[in-house]
A and B are shown apart, each in its own frame.
Chain A
Amino acid sequence: QVQLQESGPGLVIPSQTLSLTCTVSGGSISSADYYWGWIRQPPGKGLEWIGDISFSGNTYYNPSLNSRVAVSMDMSKNQFSLSLKSVTAADTAVYYCARSPFTHYYHRSGRTSRRTNYLDYWGQGTLVAVSS
Protein backbone atom coordinates (compact mmCIF):
# COMPACT_ATOMS: atom_id res chain seq x y z
CA GLN A 1 0.00 0.00 0.00
CA VAL A 2 1.32 3.42 -0.91
CA GLN A 3 2.43 5.72 1.89
CA LEU A 4 3.31 9.41 1.73
CA GLN A 5 5.35 11.34 4.30
CA GLU A 6 5.91 15.08 4.40
CA SER A 7 9.12 16.58 5.74
CA GLY A 8 10.58 20.04 6.14
CA PRO A 9 11.03 22.94 8.55
CA GLY A 10 8.22 23.60 10.99
CA LEU A 11 9.03 27.31 11.16
CA VAL A 12 9.66 29.74 8.31
CA ILE A 13 10.55 33.42 8.59
CA PRO A 14 8.19 35.88 6.86
CA SER A 15 9.26 36.78 3.29
CA GLN A 16 11.37 33.61 3.05
CA THR A 17 10.64 30.45 1.04
CA LEU A 18 8.72 27.48 2.42
CA SER A 19 10.15 24.18 1.16
CA LEU A 20 8.63 20.77 1.83
CA THR A 21 9.32 17.29 0.49
CA CYS A 22 6.99 14.32 0.19
CA THR A 23 8.57 10.88 0.20
CA VAL A 24 6.52 8.14 -1.41
CA SER A 25 6.88 4.49 -0.48
CA GLY A 26 5.01 1.46 -1.79
CA GLY A 27 4.71 2.99 -5.24
CA SER A 28 6.69 4.89 -7.85
CA ILE A 29 6.13 8.55 -8.66
CA SER A 30 7.31 7.78 -12.19
CA SER A 31 4.18 5.69 -12.76
CA ALA A 32 1.95 6.94 -15.57
CA ASP A 33 -1.07 6.01 -13.45
CA TYR A 34 -0.79 8.81 -10.89
CA TYR A 35 0.02 12.43 -10.23
CA TRP A 36 1.11 14.02 -7.00
CA GLY A 37 -0.12 17.10 -5.24
CA TRP A 38 -0.14 19.42 -2.25
CA ILE A 39 -3.06 20.65 -0.13
CA ARG A 40 -2.98 22.87 2.94
CA GLN A 41 -5.24 23.55 5.90
CA PRO A 42 -4.83 26.62 8.14
CA PRO A 43 -5.42 25.83 11.82
CA GLY A 44 -9.12 25.33 12.47
CA LYS A 45 -10.05 26.01 8.85
CA GLY A 46 -10.85 24.19 5.63
CA LEU A 47 -8.79 22.64 2.86
CA GLU A 48 -7.08 24.51 0.02
CA TRP A 49 -5.61 22.79 -3.03
CA ILE A 50 -2.15 24.15 -3.88
CA GLY A 51 -1.09 22.30 -7.01
CA ASP A 52 0.25 19.06 -8.46
CA ILE A 53 2.68 17.41 -10.86
CA SER A 54 2.44 14.40 -13.18
CA PHE A 55 5.03 11.78 -14.03
CA SER A 56 5.82 13.74 -17.19
CA GLY A 57 6.50 16.90 -15.21
CA ASN A 58 3.29 18.73 -16.15
CA THR A 59 2.20 21.03 -13.33
CA TYR A 60 -1.08 22.61 -12.32
CA TYR A 61 -1.29 25.36 -9.71
CA ASN A 62 -4.00 27.21 -7.83
CA PRO A 63 -4.16 30.67 -9.43
CA SER A 64 -4.42 32.21 -5.97
CA LEU A 65 -0.84 31.02 -5.34
CA ASN A 66 0.41 30.68 -8.91
CA SER A 67 3.09 33.35 -8.82
CA ARG A 68 4.62 32.02 -5.59
CA VAL A 69 4.37 28.24 -5.90
CA ALA A 70 6.35 25.54 -7.63
CA VAL A 71 6.05 21.74 -7.45
CA SER A 72 8.91 19.55 -8.62
CA MET A 73 9.87 15.90 -8.49
CA ASP A 74 13.02 13.81 -7.97
CA MET A 75 12.39 10.37 -9.41
CA SER A 76 15.74 9.05 -8.21
CA LYS A 77 14.60 9.60 -4.61
CA ASN A 78 10.89 8.90 -5.26
CA GLN A 79 10.10 12.32 -3.85
CA PHE A 80 8.22 15.41 -4.91
CA SER A 81 8.56 18.87 -3.43
CA LEU A 82 6.72 22.11 -2.78
CA SER A 83 8.27 25.57 -2.84
CA LEU A 84 6.26 28.60 -1.74
CA LYS A 85 7.99 31.96 -1.97
CA SER A 86 7.51 35.18 -0.02
CA VAL A 87 5.50 33.61 2.78
CA THR A 88 3.39 35.55 5.29
CA ALA A 89 1.50 34.55 8.40
CA ALA A 90 -1.44 33.65 6.15
CA ASP A 91 0.60 30.72 4.87
CA THR A 92 0.67 29.10 8.31
CA ALA A 93 -1.05 25.75 7.85
CA VAL A 94 -0.81 22.00 7.96
CA TYR A 95 0.55 20.98 4.56
CA TYR A 96 -0.47 17.62 3.11
CA CYS A 97 0.89 15.74 0.13
CA ALA A 98 -1.47 13.41 -1.72
CA ARG A 99 -1.85 11.11 -4.70
CA SER A 100 -4.36 11.36 -7.52
CA PRO A 101 -5.02 8.65 -10.10
CA PHE A 102 -5.32 9.02 -13.84
CA THR A 103 -8.12 7.19 -15.65
CA HIS A 104 -7.02 5.54 -18.87
CA TYR A 105 -9.20 5.01 -21.92
CA TYR A 106 -8.02 2.49 -24.50
CA HIS A 107 -8.98 2.70 -28.15
CA ARG A 108 -7.72 1.49 -31.49
CA SER A 109 -5.23 4.31 -31.92
CA GLY A 110 -3.80 4.02 -28.43
CA ARG A 111 -4.54 5.30 -24.95
CA THR A 112 -5.97 8.54 -23.57
CA SER A 113 -5.38 9.50 -19.96
CA ARG A 114 -7.66 11.77 -17.98
CA ARG A 115 -7.13 13.33 -14.57
CA THR A 116 -9.61 12.08 -11.95
CA ASN A 117 -8.89 15.06 -9.69
CA TYR A 118 -9.65 13.14 -6.53
CA LEU A 119 -7.10 12.47 -3.80
CA ASP A 120 -7.03 8.84 -2.77
CA TYR A 121 -3.99 8.68 -0.49
CA TRP A 122 -2.70 11.43 1.79
CA GLY A 123 0.35 11.99 3.95
CA GLN A 124 -0.17 12.63 7.66
CA GLY A 125 0.53 16.33 7.21
CA THR A 126 3.13 18.68 8.61
CA LEU A 127 2.47 21.97 10.41
CA VAL A 128 4.40 24.93 9.08
CA ALA A 129 4.27 28.17 11.03
CA VAL A 130 5.34 31.46 9.48
CA SER A 131 6.67 33.71 12.19
CA SER A 132 9.67 35.85 13.02
Chain B
Amino acid sequence: DTAVSQTPKYLVTQMGNDKSIKCEQNLGHDTMYWYKQDSKKFLKIMFSYNNKELIINETVPNRFSPKSPDKAHLNLHINSLELGDSAVYFCASSQHPNSYEQYFGPGTRLTVT
Protein backbone atom coordinates (compact mmCIF):
# COMPACT_ATOMS: atom_id res chain seq x y z
CA ASP B 1 0.00 0.00 0.00
CA THR B 2 1.97 2.95 -1.29
CA ALA B 3 1.31 6.11 0.72
CA VAL B 4 2.41 8.62 -1.91
CA SER B 5 2.68 7.39 -5.47
CA GLN B 6 3.84 9.09 -8.64
CA THR B 7 3.64 8.19 -12.30
CA PRO B 8 5.64 7.81 -14.37
CA LYS B 9 8.85 6.92 -12.55
CA TYR B 10 10.95 7.81 -15.57
CA LEU B 11 10.23 10.23 -18.37
CA VAL B 12 12.52 10.89 -21.33
CA THR B 13 11.35 13.49 -23.81
CA GLN B 14 12.58 16.06 -26.28
CA MET B 15 12.84 19.80 -25.85
CA GLY B 16 9.67 21.64 -26.66
CA ASN B 17 7.32 18.81 -25.71
CA ASP B 18 4.58 19.01 -23.08
CA LYS B 19 4.40 16.37 -20.36
CA SER B 20 2.51 15.60 -17.15
CA ILE B 21 3.42 13.88 -13.92
CA LYS B 22 0.72 12.52 -11.63
CA CYS B 23 0.72 12.17 -7.87
CA GLU B 24 -1.70 10.49 -5.51
CA GLN B 25 -1.67 10.07 -1.75
CA ASN B 26 -3.85 7.68 0.24
CA LEU B 27 -2.95 9.07 3.66
CA GLY B 28 -5.96 11.34 3.95
CA HIS B 29 -3.67 14.36 4.11
CA ASP B 30 -4.89 17.85 3.29
CA THR B 31 -1.64 19.28 1.90
CA MET B 32 0.44 18.23 -1.09
CA TYR B 33 3.71 19.53 -2.54
CA TRP B 34 5.90 19.39 -5.59
CA TYR B 35 9.67 19.53 -5.15
CA LYS B 36 12.46 19.60 -7.72
CA GLN B 37 15.78 17.89 -6.96
CA ASP B 38 18.60 18.94 -9.24
CA SER B 39 21.80 17.08 -10.10
CA LYS B 40 23.47 18.43 -6.95
CA LYS B 41 20.71 16.83 -4.87
CA PHE B 42 19.24 20.14 -3.72
CA LEU B 43 15.55 19.66 -2.95
CA LYS B 44 13.57 22.84 -3.60
CA ILE B 45 9.89 23.38 -3.17
CA MET B 46 7.94 24.41 -6.23
CA PHE B 47 4.28 24.36 -5.23
CA SER B 48 2.08 23.55 -2.28
CA TYR B 49 -1.66 22.90 -2.29
CA ASN B 50 -3.98 22.67 0.67
CA ASN B 51 -7.32 21.04 0.04
CA LYS B 52 -7.10 21.78 -3.69
CA GLU B 53 -6.09 25.42 -3.16
CA LEU B 54 -2.66 26.75 -4.14
CA ILE B 55 -0.83 28.12 -1.10
CA ILE B 56 2.80 28.27 -2.24
CA ASN B 57 4.16 29.11 -5.67
CA GLU B 58 7.91 29.50 -5.54
CA THR B 59 8.74 31.66 -8.56
CA VAL B 60 8.51 28.71 -10.87
CA PRO B 61 8.28 29.50 -14.62
CA ASN B 62 4.69 29.58 -15.76
CA ARG B 63 5.44 26.67 -18.10
CA PHE B 64 4.82 24.63 -14.94
CA SER B 65 1.17 24.33 -14.03
CA PRO B 66 0.01 22.24 -11.08
CA LYS B 67 -3.54 20.99 -10.85
CA SER B 68 -5.31 19.45 -7.90
CA PRO B 69 -8.62 17.81 -8.90
CA ASP B 70 -9.15 16.70 -5.29
CA LYS B 71 -7.11 16.72 -2.12
CA ALA B 72 -5.67 13.26 -2.79
CA HIS B 73 -4.22 14.20 -6.17
CA LEU B 74 -1.75 16.81 -7.34
CA ASN B 75 -0.58 16.71 -10.94
CA LEU B 76 2.17 18.71 -12.59
CA HIS B 77 1.98 19.72 -16.22
CA ILE B 78 5.04 21.15 -17.94
CA ASN B 79 4.81 22.96 -21.27
CA SER B 80 7.62 23.57 -23.77
CA LEU B 81 10.17 21.47 -21.90
CA GLU B 82 13.72 22.80 -21.70
CA LEU B 83 17.04 21.05 -21.02
CA GLY B 84 17.20 22.72 -17.59
CA ASP B 85 13.97 21.01 -16.56
CA SER B 86 15.85 17.71 -16.33
CA ALA B 87 15.70 16.70 -12.67
CA VAL B 88 13.93 14.39 -10.28
CA TYR B 89 10.50 15.69 -9.28
CA PHE B 90 9.13 14.60 -5.93
CA CYS B 91 5.59 14.82 -4.73
CA ALA B 92 4.98 14.96 -0.98
CA SER B 93 2.07 15.29 1.40
CA SER B 94 1.48 16.34 4.98
CA GLN B 95 -1.52 16.18 7.25
CA HIS B 96 -2.16 19.91 7.06
CA PRO B 97 -0.12 23.02 6.09
CA ASN B 98 1.35 23.39 9.56
CA SER B 99 2.43 19.75 9.86
CA TYR B 100 6.18 19.59 9.82
CA GLU B 101 6.48 15.97 8.75
CA GLN B 102 6.14 15.44 5.02
CA TYR B 103 5.88 12.08 3.27
CA PHE B 104 7.56 11.81 -0.11
CA GLY B 105 6.70 9.87 -3.22
CA PRO B 106 9.32 7.81 -5.09
CA GLY B 107 10.14 10.60 -7.52
CA THR B 108 9.91 11.01 -11.29
CA ARG B 109 13.20 11.29 -13.13
CA LEU B 110 12.65 13.64 -16.05
CA THR B 111 15.28 13.78 -18.77
CA VAL B 112 14.92 16.35 -21.51
CA THR B 113 17.07 15.76 -24.59
Q: Specify whether A and B are partners.
A: no
User: Hey, which bits of chain A sit against chain B, CB under 8 A?
Assistant: none
User: Hey, which bits of chain B sit against chain A, CB under 8 A?
Assistant: none
